[in-house]
Each structure stands twice: as C-alpha cells, then as structure tokens.
Amino acid sequence: MTTAATKLLAVLGHPIAHSQSPAMHSVWLRRYGIPARYLAFDVLPEDLPHAIRGLQALGAIGCNITLPHKEAALALCHDVTPEAKAIGAVNTLVFHQGTIVGHNTDPIGFWQGLITQVPCPVPHRPIVILGAGGAARGVITALTKHLGVSLLVLNRTLGRAEALRALVPALITGPLNTPLPPDTQMVVNTLSSGAVVPDLSGLPGDCWLYDLSYNPPLTPFLAAGQQRGLRGINGAAMLAHQGAAAFALWFQRTPAVDGEVMEAINGQNRPHL
C-alpha cells in the first residue's frame, strides 16, 4: 500500500522502457518490508537537471542513472566518491540533507557479473571494449583493478575513446571498424542494443562475448556471436549486482542476488508495480 510515508526511488534514462530495475528493486523492497516505490522515468538529456532536482524536492531517497546520462549527472552532484570521480560518471545518486552524493556501482556490478559466469580472464590475451561512454568507463575501471590485461577500446568517435587514457594511460584505442585481434579473449559491448558492431568472424572459438544490454536477453550482438559459435552473456547479472550495491547505499543493507531477483529481471514472476 502506498501512503504519504512511502518513499520514492527511481531510474532515469532515455529510452527507459526496457529497464527491469523497477522489477528487481521491488523484490528487495517487498522482501525487507521497506515502504518505498522504485519507478522508471524517461528523461531527455536537456531535462536531466530538472528531473534530479524534482526527485530531490519530492523527498526521494535517491536514484539510478543510466544511458545516456551517466556523465552529465556527475556535474549535478555536490559530492562524488573518488572512484566515480576517476571514472567521470555516476550511476547512483544518494539524496541526503539537501545534498546529492554521486556513486558508481558499475565496476562492482560488471566484475561480479563476470566472475559468476565466465572463467577468469588471463593476463596475456587482450579484451576489447566497444564504446567509450560512462558504462565503458566502469568496465575499464573493474578490469584494471582486478586484472592486468591489455585493453583495446573501439568507438565511433575516436577522440572520445582516446580520452579514456586518463583512466588507463596504456589503453589502446581505435575506430569501431578496427579488426579485432585474433587472440581476443573477450569482447565487451557497452553500446546501446542494436548498434553496429565490428565483424566478429576473426575471433577465436574460445572468445567470450559480454553485452551489457539485457533486454532482449539475446541481443543482436550476442546473436551475431552465436551464429559463429561464440559463447556469450548479457548484462542481467551486472544489473543485479550493481543494483544490490546501490540498494546498500540507500538502506545500509546488501540484498541477496538470488533466483527471485534474476527471474524479475528476466521478466518472469514479475511483481505488480
């Protein structure tokens, strides 16, 4: 039951209709008996400052930020964590006593999603990252923190990819049509679902594909790899683990990522919102 005491949480993005964050967080809110609602709002880039300040004015606890707002939202924060500042993007905001504190839970979400599904990457084979936005920054941060692998970032705008050398000076960059190294061990797609991706035909048979998109479960990127016999995972597990880290920031309680949560993300057993 929604009452005047019910608190508000949200995810802001454009587009946002595909998001399963409300279903996921609703499982946790119901499980722990927290009087709050988590809603998704489609917000145009020019309206982002108004949307964030509006949520703050309504007494919201905080919100998640997704494409294409992760970098723009950082400038609207009163304070950001050192990791979020280094990444140059935020995906979680905490509203506290009139201030907005920015966090980035993408690195932990990506890493936990990776190690629960894919054999541990090896240092001597490169990992390719497609895209150079806020999500790519989180992926690079996680891989650099946990592994010493060579990273190749490919993006439609080369200058945007080269700017990521502020995170990792040794980063190798190139345009999106760059041939992928024949010894690539993983390709991580941070581009929006349906974006044009490089030719995957030259990849070795043991290469993994990791698409941060999760809706539909078999994205065009993963389908292209599947046709070539490549194994792949989508971003459902990343969503769950970065969401759990955000939930812990709001409620000082780390929720379990279990079957019920994954079913909610995958569109099954979805709670009424």
Which residues, in sequence order, are CB contacts of 259 under 8 Å at separation 6+? none
Does residue 61 contact residue 9 with C-beta atoms inside 8 Å? yes
Does residue 11 contact residue 40 with C-beta atoms inside 8 Å? yes
Burial class (CB in 10 A: 0-12, 13-18, 19+), 159: exposed
The CA-based dihedral angle spanning residues 229, 218, 235, 163, taken in that order and rounded to the nearest 10 degrees:
70
Burial class (CB in 10 A: 0-12, 13-18, 19+), 72: middle
Exactly one of 7, 70, 85, 145 is catalytic; which is it?
A: 70
Residue 145 appears among annotated catalytic residues:
no
Rounded Cα–Cα distance for residues 263 and 196 (Å): 29
Q: What residues act catalytically?
A: 70
